[in-house]
Amino acid sequence: MSYAVLKVNDSNFLKTISKFRVDIWNYENSEFCNVLGCDYMFEGLDFNSEHYVIIAEGKLAAAARLSFHSKLETIPDWNAFSNLHQLLQFPVGSINRMVVHPEFRGRGFSKILTAIRLKRCLDSGMRSIACLAIGSRKETLINAGFNYYGIAEKHAAIDHAIPNEMNIMIHHLDGLNDIVSEPFFDLGNSAPLNPFRGANIA
C-alpha cells in the first residue's frame, strides 16, 4: 500500500486535522469529547506546533502534533509531569494529539509518526521528550527509548480531561543517535497522494 507522510504547513488545513481528531475521539467514546461537546477543537498550541499526517488510499489516515517547550507550564497537560519536573531536561519536545483512523490501524502508522517526531526533536536540540500515551502505545514507546512513570492522575487544572490509563512517558534522548538507523525509523513506501480526502468513520 502506498502512502504519503507529510508535514502540514497550511494553517487552513488545521481545521481538517482538528475535526479528524474529534471524529476519532467520538468513535472511541473518548472522555475528551465528553468535555468538548463539539465537532472540532482548536488549541492555541496548534498554531505554534508542527503537524504531520499520513495520507493512504487518498484519505487522511493519521495525524500527530509536535511542540517544543522551554518551560514546564507550556507542555500540554503539564500537570501530569509536575511531580517529574526534575527528570525533564529543557528544552523539551512534546509528542501529542496522535490519532489513527480505525480503517488504517495495525499498519504501523503510529510508529512512523512517532519516529519522525523523535528524529525532529533530536535534530532540533531537544534534551527530553514528554508524552501521555494510551495503553496500546506504551510498549511501542518503551521500545523507542521512552521510560514509563506511571498513570496520569486527573487534575482540574489540566486543559482537557485525561482519559483513563494515560501513561506518563519521558525520553531523555540518551543514545537516540544509536537507534536512528534502526527499522523504527524506516519510513517505508512513501509516495505523494492527492487530494486530501478524509476517510469515513462508521
Give the CATH number of the domain where residue 173 resides: 3.40.630.30
pLDDT tens digits, residue range 148-193? 999 987 654 444 444 557 899 999 987 555 444 333 333 444 433 3
Give the number of other CB atoms < 10 A from CB of residue 161.
17
In a domain, 193, yes or no: no
Contacts of 78 (CB under 8 A, 6+ apart): 72, 158
Under 8 Å CB-to-CB from 106, ≥6 apart: which residues? none
Q: Is residue 39 part of a domain?
A: yes
Domain count, the chain: 1
Question: What domain range is 136 assigned to?
Answer: 3-185
5-9, 30-34, 69-73, 189-193: range with lowest mean pLDDT = 189-193
199 within some domain: no
What pLDDT, in 10s, does the model give residues 116-148? Answer: 999 999 999 999 999 999 888 899 899 888 999
Calpha distance 14→165 (Å, rounded): 27
- Answer whether residue 201 is part of any domain: no
pLDDT bin (cut points 50, 70, 90) of residue 23 is confident
Measuring CA to CA, which residue among 42, 34, 31, 39 is closest to residue 166? 31
Position with higher pLDDT, 199 vs 151: 151
pLDDT exceeds 90 at position 42: no
Asked if the structure places residue 14 within a domain, the reply is yes
Give this prediction's pTM: 0.80
Q: How far apart are CA 58 and CA 54, in angstroms?
A: 10
Task: Establish if 196 belongs to a structural domain.
Answer: no
